[in-house]
Amino acid sequence: MCTESPVLQFFDPSKSVEIFCDASSNGLGAVLLQDSHPIAFSSRSLTDTETRYAQIEKEMLSIVHACVKFHNYIFGNHVTVYNDHKPLEDIFRKPLLSTPMRIQRMRLRLQWYDLTVKYRRGKDMELPDTLSRAQLPVNKPEMEGLECVSMLHFVSVSEQKYSELQNCTREELSCLQRIIQQGWPDHRHDLPNELQPYWDSRSQLVVSDGVVYKGLHIVVPPSMQAHMLKLIHQSHLGIVKSKQRAREVLYWPGMSSVIEQMVKNCGKCADFQNKLPRQPLRPTETPSFPFEEVASDLFEFEGTHYILLVDYYSKFIEVDTLKNLHCRSIIEKLKAQFSRHGIPVILRTDNGPQYAAEEFKVFCQSYGITHRTSSPHTPHSNGEAERAVQTVKKLWAKASDKHLALLDYRTTPLDSVGFSPAQLLMGRRPRNSLPTARLLLAPAAYDPIKVKQRLDRSKCIQKFYYDHKRASGPRAELKPGDEVRMQPHPGSNRWSPGVVVRSHDAPRSYIVESGNKEYRRNVQHLRKSTPDANDSRHRLINDHWAELMEPVSAEEPEPVEHTNSQQESAPVPQTAKGMTSTGQYITRLGRVVKPPDRLSL
Ligand SMILES: [Zn+2]
């Protein structure tokens, strides 16, 4: 009745054109309107193959059918197309390549036309709906070759694997297949619970050869997901790479988070990781007067061993020759220095054997000195001493008179304060080789409050540059029982698994148990891990790397993180700490430690 000519209007090229189109299970219908008056109708039935298309493909086909049929009316004009399948709206916004193959073909065909596709509720679409249900018995497809689009041509998969996919899909995703073919409900909550995760991808889901595809990606049935995960991670790529690799070809709801968890749980990946980015600088408080806080370190220059002492306040450096590296000689030299400048309140050193010896502890106790050591393998936390060693080495490398070079350093004003180390320490300018007015050599007081302010300000500036250049944000605190990995010792590249026992008194330091031994580690060297990734932890007793690490003693003195970055070029801990150019590790006592050869296993 409605297709009889009296109902139809004449076409007016000056007016805008609208198309209403719809697909039923076995037919297509379309009507061309101007000012809500019909200009032309069209309908056809679907071929046998077309009836098996996904609902979204049928709806897309109804647009193609309408456009081809009404070509003479719409070519060169803008047209608004109304359809009652909501996902179609989305698919026109998606990149062409992310859509399923058959829809891609149809979209390419529609590129002839200037279309805006809009959604309208089914009950407002009576005309095309009627036409699609009471379709004409013609079924000539508008596009050639659309029916034989098979995804199998586009995926690289063995036939055996593909038939396995088809079987699993039939058994596990039959409900999803049915929804795709019959059309999606209007609301997410109308879907069965197990299908709701697919809701957001509904515009891209199609079924081809019994396999569900999202765009060009295979939707993996649940029982095959574990196997796919194994394939994705077979070469142990990191989280980002593994995800990218999977997203190229596969899809299932929540795939990314499963991959992320899998990589985090992978023991092999946890074994070999990159160093952590540095922590933000945590400057120590500036001491209030000279020789309140000092740092000491040992170093070697041109075959001779030296002990260095540097004052945190004035940066005054004392250097003494050492005949041997016995703890007693070191104590002797320190005693001599303290007799000159007074006994410091705090002495900072690294964890070297001489400083960690019982004898040294007794000495510090008898002199009333608080001895603080740095975390193992965190040489920069004894930064002041490390830096002073570098300063002295640089001076001596160029100087013919070591003592004059030191005098020049001590009598040259510090950038940050405007006074020389000697002035800050002794309140006078010692005479050096430069001609100087006699008056300048007289003792002169300086304002200690101003000096402290300047020192504090220079620390703030250092922190700003350090944090902005290389530090990461502060890492989350670790709790007892947390599974972790410890950064490899120099000479090894394997992160060793452990579990946090407790936090150490020193900030950012933890006691970690690994292979039945306890180690003290700075958070800089601890990566969070998972129980699964650390599965091998309990088998590591007597492992070679364990020998390389210094187990913590219960009475180990409290260290303080003391990073500082006055010198942008990092100190060279390798030579000072015993790394040779061949990558072997030499202990302070000269023992060469061969790195474990585990990669070749
Ligand atoms: Zn892995």
pLDDT tens sequence across 24-44: 888 899 999 888 888 898 889
Cα-to-centroid distance, 230 and ligand 1 (Å)? 10
Instruction: Give the distance (Å) from ligand 1 centre to CA of residue 197.
Output: 27
For ligand 1, the distance from its centroid to the CA atom of residue 228, given in whole angstroms, is: 14
- Residue indicated by tokens 């829809």: 103
Which helix (H) or strand (E) segment holds residue 496: the answer is strand 496-503
**Interval 2-18: pLDDT, tens:** 555 447 888 888 889 99
What is the average pLDDT across 377-400?
82
Residue at token pair 């006078």: 428
Ligand 1 center to 168 CA (angstroms): 27
Per-residue pLDDT band at 575 (split at 50, 70, 90): very low
Q: What is the mean pLDDT of residues 248-271?
A: 89
Please report which confidence band the pLDDT of residue 571 belongs to, taking 50, 70 and 90 as the band edges. very low
Q: How far is the CA of 261 from the centre of ligand 1 (A)?
A: 11
Separation of CA 533 and ligand 1 centre (Å): 9
Residue 316, pLDDT score: 93
Query: Rounded to the nearest whole angstrom, what is the distance from the C-alpha of residue 531 to the centroid of ligand 1?
Result: 14
Q: How far is the CA of 165 from the centre of ligand 1 (A)?
A: 25
In the reported structure, the alpha carbon of residue 271 is separated from the centroid of ligand 1 by a whole-number distance in angstroms of: 9
462-511 confidence digits (pLDDT tens) = 888 777 776 666 777 888 988 998 888 777 778 888 899 988 888 888 99
User: What is the pLDDT confidence band of residue 338, given thresholds at 50, 70 and 90?
Assistant: very high
CA–CA dist 162, 156 (Å, integer): 10
Tell me the pLDDT band of 144, cut-offs 50, 70 and 90: confident
Residue closest to 500 by CA, chosen among 468, 469, 531, 471: 531
Partners of residue 23 on adjacent β-strands = 28
pLDDT of amino acid 378: 64
Q: pLDDT above 70 covers what percent of the chain?
A: 85
Distance 248 CA to ligand 1 centre (A): 19
Residue 91 pLDDT: 83
For ligand 1, the distance from its centroid to the CA atom of residue 266, given in whole angstroms, is 5
Name the packing angle between helices 358-367 and 327-341 (round to 10°): 20
User: What is the whole-number distance in angstroms between the Cα of residue 24 and the centre of ligand 1?
Assistant: 49
Does residue 157 or residue 452 have the better pLDDT? 452
Q: Provide the pLDDT confidence category of residue 583 given band limits of 50, 70 and 90.
A: very low
Cα 10 to averaged position of ligand 1 atoms, centre (Å) = 69
Cα of 270 from ligand 1 centre, angstroms: 7
All residues with CB under 5 Å from ion ligand 1: 236, 266, 268-269
d(CA 44, CA 144): 16
Cα–ligand 1 centroid distance for 376 (angstroms): 28
Residue 360 CA to ligand 1 centre (angstroms):
46
Task: Report residue 391 as tokens.
Answer: 């300063």
Distance 317 CA to ligand 1 centre (A): 49
In this structure, of 75-84, 136-145, 189-198, 419-428, the range with the lowest mean pLDDT score is 136-145
Q: Do 292 and 368 contact (CB within 8 A), yes or no? A: no
Q: How remote is the CA of residue 525 from the centroid of ligand 1, in Å?
A: 20
pLDDT band, very low/low/confident/very high, at 135 (cuts 50, 70, 90): confident
Q: In this structure, what token pair is assigned to residue 141?
A: 């497809």
Task: Give the pLDDT of residue 35.
Answer: 86
Contact (CB, 8 A) for 341 and 314? no
Residue type, 412: T
536 alpha carbon to ligand 1 midpoint, in Å? Answer: 14
Helices 101-110 & 55-69 angle (0-180, nearest 10): 20
* Banded pLDDT at 542 (limits 50, 70, 90): very low
Expressed in angstroms and rounded, the spacing between residue 232 Cα and the centre of ligand 1 is 10
Cα(158) to centroid(ligand 1), Å: 25
| Residue 597, burial from CB neighbour count under 10 angstroms (0-12, 13-18, 19+) | exposed
Burial category of 432 from C-beta neighbours within 10 Å (exposed 0-12, middle 13-18, buried 19 and up)? middle
Q: How far apart are CA 119 and CA 85, in angstroms?
A: 7
pLDDT bucket at 528, cuts 50 / 70 / 90: confident
Q: Who has greater pLDDT, 542 or 203? A: 203
Structure tokens at 263: 């990589």
Q: In this model, does residue 76 exceed pLDDT 50?
A: yes
- Decide if pLDDT at 600 tops 70: no
Q: How confident is the model at residue 589 (pLDDT cuts 50, 70, 90)?
A: low
Q: Is the pLDDT of residue 557 over 60?
A: no
Residue 334 banded pLDDT, cuts 50, 70, 90? very high
Q: What integer is the mean pLDDT of 267-279?
A: 81
Contact 304, 402 (CB under 8 A): no
Distance in Å from the first CA to the final CA of the chain: 83
Q: How far is the CA of 262 from the centre of ligand 1 (A)?
A: 8
User: What pLDDT is recorded for position 491?
Assistant: 74
Mean pLDDT for 531-536 is 79
CA of residue 118 to ligand 1 center, whole Å: 46
Q: Could you give the C-alpha distances from 345 to 292, 311, 363, in angstroms and in order?
A: 5, 11, 13
- Average pLDDT over the chain, rounded to whole? 81
Question: Is the pLDDT confidence value at 582 over 70?
Answer: no
CA of residue 600 to ligand 1 center, whole Å: 18
- Cα of 12 from ligand 1 centre, angstroms: 67
* pLDDT for the residue numbered 206: 85
Q: Sheet of 37-45: strands edge to edge? A: 37-45, 27-34, 17-23, 78-83, 114-119
Q: What is the pLDDT of residue 346?
A: 92
Centroid of ligand 1 to alpha carbon of 488 (angstroms): 18
Separation of CA 479 and ligand 1 centre (Å): 25
Assign 294 a pLDDT band (cuts: 50, 70, 90): very high
Q: Kindly give the distance from the C-alpha atom of residue 523 to the centroid of ligand 1, in angstroms, as a whole number.
A: 23
Give the neighbor-by-neighbor strand order of the sheet with 304-311: 317-322, 304-311, 293-301, 346-349, 370-373
Q: Residue 112: phi, psi to the nearest 5?
A: -65, -25
Q: Does residue 523 have a pLDDT over 70?
A: yes
Q: Which of 133-147, 287-301, 421-435 has the lowest mean pLDDT?
A: 133-147
pLDDT at 546 over 60: no
Which pLDDT does position 377 carry in this prediction?
Answer: 65
Q: How far is the CA of 229 from the centre of ligand 1 (A)?
A: 11
Reading the block at residue 345, the tokens are: 């309140």
Residues in the chain, overall count: 601
CA 265 – ligand 1 centroid, Å = 8
Highest mean pLDDT among 95-99, 213-217, 344-348: 344-348
**What per-residue confidence (pLDDT) applies to 566?**
36
CA 233 / ligand 1 centre spacing (Å): 6
CB-CB contact of 500 with 481 (8 Å): yes
CA of 411 to the centre of ligand 1 (A): 57
Distance 268 CA to ligand 1 centre (A): 5
More confident residue, 182 or 548: 182
Count of alpha carbons within 13 angstroms of residue 183, beta-carbon side: 17
- 554 alpha carbon – ligand 1 mean position (Å): 36
- Please tell me the pTM assigned to this model: 0.55
Which of 369, 327, 363 has its CA nearest to residue 347? 369
